[in-house]
Amino acid sequence: MTDVLLVGGGGREHALAWKLTRSPRLGRLVAAPGNPGIAAHARCEPVRDTAIAELVALARRERPDLVVVGPEAPLAMGLGDQLRAAGFPVFGPSAAAARIESSKAFAKDLMARHGIPTARFATFRDAAAAERYCRGLGAPLVVKADGLAGGKGVIICPTREAAARALALCFDDRAFGESGLTVVVEELLEGEEVSFFALADGAAVLPLAAAQDHKTIFDGDRGPNTGGMGAYSPAPVFDPAMQERVMAEIVRPVIAAMAKEGAPFAGVLFVGLMITREGPKVIEFNCRFGDPECQAILPRLEGDLLTLLEAVAAGQGLPASVAWSPRASVCVVMTSAGYPGVPQTGRPIAGTTEAAALPHVNVFHAGTAMADGALVTAGGRVLGVQALGADVADAVRTAYAAVERIRFEGAHYRRDIGHHALRRLG
């Protein structure tokens, strides 16, 4: 039996905990910090996922056989390195390898050096130089904070004036703190966006599955970007031929490039793609499962997640393939009023048990807490309501039937999750 310490407390980590408990080889599961949903599967310890020294101390007390790190921030801070130095097998890359997410400038330069298809770009630490490049590049374009920004450091600029405002947000207002003092300016890619995931053990690579996220807050892909308002899997735009092309042109080359440059990548590689007329191009890389893509993908995985994560941590090779359910999965994110700005918290939540009782439905907790014995909102993205169906349309119907059973003051959710797939499938 394998005892596991799971680091994180969001919807992604709830999905990971839920899937890990389906392994017949799982022993104890401890989560730090966890959340009320994760508490149904694991013993939760109140240690923040960025409290590196405390997490290492927790591992020394618990002596897990495997540590699974969910979020990007502790990976970028070197949690995996410190745990491995203390003798613990870890699922999650080193800080050096996590730069593929923690520094967009690093990732773009890596792609440029190794011929991996991506948007034209330049990197700046000076606002005036960035503005000159924007004028030359022409609108629309994208301004990205270099460092981690909780999924909100990417600003799409339809005009040069919007680009100037985005640069001022980064350099003058310091809206993204240190993360925004270096910016990447790049051309806006046109096409259909998709998230693809693969496991790597530093050398071997195993393709997982693709999903499509919905980043903006409002229906019709309008409004400011968020951490993700919902996702579905599989993505019809990403057929087997496209997957093999992405593996050949992007995934295998970037894993080989990281190894060649002395930072072998072992963990899950999240490839944010735009499927353009010229073919797939990288929007960004992430060093962990997506949120909410993870909640959509894992219910389709047929097989033992724990065995896969152990294989990556041990670096002992990966299977050639894994089996996936042909069924479609949809996850609808419910948010607090005020999100993606300052969310209203402390609002009582009702109906989660009723929703989760529906066939083929999971309710994954993200920003929730217990207060005086009641479940309350505790963040911007509150719940991810996931459903399986015979196809995307069926999964959409089931997911929204579950959403309608959940109530809290100010609840917001998009009502068009899956619209790209539904339009493509007719």
Cis peptide before 343 (omega within 30 of 0): no
- pLDDT tens digits in sequence order for the chain, 426 residues long: 999 999 999 999 999 999 999 999 999 999 999 999 999 999 999 999 999 999 999 999 999 999 999 999 999 999 999 999 999 999 999 999 999 999 999 999 999 999 999 999 999 999 999 999 999 999 999 999 999 987 778 999 999 999 999 999 999 999 999 999 999 999 999 999 999 999 999 999 999 999 999 999 999 999 988 999 999 999 999 999 999 999 999 999 999 999 999 999 999 999 999 999 999 999 999 999 999 999 999 999 999 999 999 999 998 889 988 999 999 999 999 999 999 999 999 999 999 999 999 999 999 999 999 999 999 999 999 999 999 999 999 999 999 999 999 999 999 999 999 998 888 776
Phi, psi of 268 (to 5 degrees): -105, 130
pTM (predicted TM-score): 0.95
Cβ-contact 365, 35 below 8 angstroms: yes
Q: What angle do CA 320, 3, 22 make, to 5 degrees?
A: 60
Q: Which residue has the tokens 């939540």?
A: 349
HEC profile of 130-174: HHHHHHHHCCCEEEEECCCCCCCCEEEECCHHHHHHHHHHHHCCC
User: What's residue 231's pLDDT?
Assistant: 98
User: What's residue 426's pLDDT?
Assistant: 67
User: What's residue 149's pLDDT?
Assistant: 83
Cβ-contact 233, 254 below 8 angstroms: no
Buried b vs exposed e over 174-203: b needs ≥16 C-beta within 10 Å? ebbeebbebbbbbbebebebbbbbbbbbbe
H or E element: which one contains 384?
strand 381-389
H or E element: which one contains 128?
helix 127-137
Q: In what order do the strands lie in the sheet with 279-286?
A: 279-286, 266-276, 192-201, 205-213, 230-233, 328-335, 381-389, 361-365
Neighbours of 216 (CB within 10 A): 17
H or E element: which one contains 3?
strand 2-8
Domains and CATH numbers, the chain: 2-92 (3.40.50.20), 126-181 (3.30.1490.20), 192-324 (3.30.470.20), 328-425 (3.90.600.10)
